[in-house]
């Protein structure tokens, strides 16, 4: 390393191509802290503020929302063929590099003599990223790319040759970032870092192993972020990485860079972060990004017990998993205590009202326990959101009818239902099983992997098409009627954020 190298003379630009919500990106906050502590001059650029608006989720639905879902989830032969066409058209329009975006990107990269650019990106923003990388190349600035799916070598094969990319990092960088940045700036060899992928005739590199979280993680720095409304200032946080269940065959969250295997943080470090972030950013509103906040019951009960003493008048939202067996921390008395501790919204994955299909997905939940949970949470005063998936391999009209029965019986207790179409994603339990034995999924035809976006195109079939289509149409209508309702007053601060 050069003797003249000092971090205080180096300018690092972090580009946030993850932010799809009106609050700061947790991953970018984790990148900022160790670099600032090391003495680097750090600037964060959020391109989605320029010509690409952030997404909002689960707001009150309109007729337009209803029609869009009907088309997106259509399986009628006269309409189904348009699904991929319309999806591709949507992504081209929604994620296109607009003129304001292009101009602002050039301005930001040219404005200062940046020594290194770090980009944290979701895959759907590939065309936006190409603009950033091309500008970095034109200015002669090295660029390191990272994000959730870049621990997949197949994905990196599609991204490493984008003009302007120096290397790709696939892993959790918190404890190596300072050294990695130093070595890039001094033009030292970074190829031996676990997680670094480079191109030298062929792609080389391997995903970094998951971090042990027994060490204290840096507290994310959100100084760069400009909240649109003070009263809606929501702080993101994670108590653990991965999922304590981690077996759902459709789930990609348990396979991406930071969420492989379940690892929980010590309770006290979590409480310290809640308190310090609340004081620093003058907010008492938190959104937990854990796949399942009740994975570690010590953490779950500890939050409920200590939250209000750490951050008085705090409000928070979380996602949970309604385990089918044993204690899961979601009993009626506990949920009442959670509401008193500030919990105002909860999301859980119903996915289907069919126990048969639930078992096929390896969800590990029971319909009776789901029913008990939503009722107990609603009675406690907590707004309940759930997710429902259609088109899972092997789904029938009867399965959808059972989902309708569940939602109809419990619609008084559920404020929002987020419907989605099954996505075939590489690396998931489904993806691995399909690659080994595609014949076990006879309802999935013509599947083709697209690693540029870590997804697949395919055709879904079923033996009871008329019944299936009628049931799906009825389900979409029911969900729309439920989603037209406003959230409870106590949950309004988190409206559109889950």
- Please indicate, yes or no, whether residues 24 and 141 belong to a single structural domain of this protein: yes
Nearest to 457 by CA among 466, 446, 465: 446
The CATH number of the domain holding residue 37 is: 3.40.50.2300
- Please indicate, yes or no, whether residues 73 and 187 belong to a single structural domain of this protein: no
Which residues of the chain are modeled with pLDDT < 50? 1-2
Range(s) of the domain holding residue 145: 7-52+96-204
Strand arrangement, sheet containing 285-288: 234-237, 285-288, 315-320, 343-351, 383-390, 416-421
Per-residue pLDDT, 83: 65
- Please indicate, yes or no, whether residues 129 and 108 belong to a single structural domain of this protein: yes
- Please indicate, yes or no, whether residues 316 and 457 belong to a single structural domain of this protein: yes
- Please indicate, yes or no, whether residues 354 and 294 belong to a single structural domain of this protein: yes
Query: Which of 204, 239, 256 is a domain's end point?
Result: 204
- Please indicate, yes or no, whether residues 266 and 132 belong to a single structural domain of this protein: no
Rounded distance, CA 17 to CA 491, Å?
28
Per-residue pLDDT, 238: 95
Q: How far is CA 288 from the centre of its chain?
A: 11
372: burial class by Cβ within 10 Å (0-12, 13-18, 19+)?
Answer: middle
- Please indicate, yes or no, whether residues 301 and 445 belong to a single structural domain of this protein: yes
Q: What is the tens place of the pLDDT at every residue in 290-314? A: 999 999 999 999 999 999 999 999 9
Task: Please check whether residue 299 lies inside any domain of the structure.
Answer: yes
Per-residue pLDDT, 111: 81
- Please indicate, yes or no, whether residues 286 and 169 belong to a single structural domain of this protein: no
Task: Please check whether residue 213 lies inside any domain of the structure.
Answer: no
Residue 337's SS3 state is: helix
Which tokens sit at 141?
A: 């600035």
- Please indicate, yes or no, whether residues 82 and 143 belong to a single structural domain of this protein: no
Task: Please check whether residue 217 lies inside any domain of the structure.
Answer: no
- Number of domains present in the structure of the chain: 2
Query: Which of 147, 171, 204 is a domain's end point?
Result: 204
The CATH number of the domain holding residue 258 is: 3.80.30.20
Query: Which of 136, 169, 204 is a domain's end point?
Result: 204
- Please indicate, yes or no, whether residues 266 and 167 belong to a single structural domain of this protein: no
- Please indicate, yes or no, whether residues 355 and 418 belong to a single structural domain of this protein: yes
- Evaluate whether 353 touches 405 at the Cβ level (below 8 Å): yes
- Please indicate, yes or no, whether residues 346 and 325 belong to a single structural domain of this protein: yes
Task: Please check whether residue 210 lies inside any domain of the structure.
Answer: no
**HSE value, Cβ hemisphere, 13 Å, CA-based, for 299:** 22
The pTM for the full model equals: 0.90
Per-residue pLDDT, 86: 67
Per-residue pLDDT, 2: 47
Residue 315's SS3 state is: strand
Rounded distance, CA 216 to CA 2, Å?
30
CA angle, residues 126, 132, 134, in degrees to nearest 5: 100
Task: Please check whether residue 216 lies inside any domain of the structure.
Answer: no
- Evaluate whether 383 touches 415 at the Cβ level (below 8 Å): yes
Per-residue pLDDT, 69: 73
Task: Please check whether residue 232 lies inside any domain of the structure.
Answer: yes
Per-residue pLDDT, 1: 44
Cα-only R_g, the chain:
23
Task: Please check whether residue 293 lies inside any domain of the structure.
Answer: yes
Rounded distance, CA 258 to CA 272, Å?
22
């Amino acid at each position: 390393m050069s003797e003249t190298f000092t971090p205080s003379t180096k300018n690092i630009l972090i580009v946030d191509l993850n932010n799809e919500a009106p609050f700061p990106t947790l991953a970018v906050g984790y990148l900022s802290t160790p670099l600032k502590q090391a003495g680097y001059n750090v600037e964060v650029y959020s391109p989605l503020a320029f010509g690409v608006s952030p997404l909002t989720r689960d707001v009150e639905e309109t007729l337009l929302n209803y029609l869009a879902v009907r088309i997106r989830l259509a399986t009628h032969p006269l309409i189904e063929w348009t699904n991929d066409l319309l999806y591709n058209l949507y992504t081209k329009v929604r994620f296109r590099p607009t003129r304001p975006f292009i101009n602002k990107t050039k301005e930001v990269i040219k404005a200062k003599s940046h020594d290194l650019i770090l980009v944290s990106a979701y895959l759907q923003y590939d065309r936006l990223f190409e603009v950033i990388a091309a500008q970095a190349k034109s200015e002669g600035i090295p660029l390191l790319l990272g994000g959730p799916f870049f621990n997949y070598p197949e994905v990196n094969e599609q991204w490493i040759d984008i003009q302007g990319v120096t290397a790709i990092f696939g892993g959790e960088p918190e404890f190596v970032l300072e050294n990695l940045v130093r070595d890039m700036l001094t033009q030292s060899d970074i190829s031996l870092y676990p997680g670094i992928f480079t191109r030298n005739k062929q792609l080389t590199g391997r995903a970094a192993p998951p971090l042990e979280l027994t060490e204290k993680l840096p507290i994310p720095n959100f100084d760069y972020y400009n909240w649109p409304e003070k009263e809606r200032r929501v702080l993101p946080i994670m108590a653990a990485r991965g999922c304590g269940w981690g077996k759902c065959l459709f789930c990609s969250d348990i396979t991406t860079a930071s969420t492989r295997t379940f690892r929980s943080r010590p309770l006290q470090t979590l409480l310290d972060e809640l308190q310090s972030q609340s004081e620093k950013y003058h907010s008492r509103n938190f959104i937990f990004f854990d796949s399942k906040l009740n994975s570690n019951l010590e953490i779950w009960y500890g939050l409920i017990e200590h939250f209000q003493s750490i951050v008085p008048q705090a409000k928070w939202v979380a996602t949970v998993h309604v385990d089918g067996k044993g204690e899961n921390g979601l009993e009626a008395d506990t949920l009442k205590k959670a509401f008193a501790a500030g919990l105002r919204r909860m999301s859980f994955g119903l996915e289907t009202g069919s126990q048969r299909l639930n078992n096929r997905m390896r969800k590990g939940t029971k319909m009776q326990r789901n029913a008990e949970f939503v009722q107990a949470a609603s009675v406690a005063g907590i707004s309940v959101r759930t997710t429902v998936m259609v088109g899972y391999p092997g789904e029938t009209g009867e399965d959808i009818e059972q989902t309708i029965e569940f939602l109809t019986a419990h619609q008084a207790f559920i404020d929002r239902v987020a419907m989605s179409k099954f996505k075939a994603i590489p690396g998931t339990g489904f993806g691995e099983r399909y690659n080994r034995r595609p014949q076990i999924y006879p309802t999935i035809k013509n599947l083709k992997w697209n690693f540029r976006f870590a997804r697949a195109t395919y055709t879904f079939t079923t033996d009871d098409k008329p019944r299936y289509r009628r049931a799906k149409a009825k389900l979409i209508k029911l969900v729309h009627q439920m989603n037209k309702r406003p959230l409870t007053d106590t949950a309004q601060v988190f409206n559109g954020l889950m």
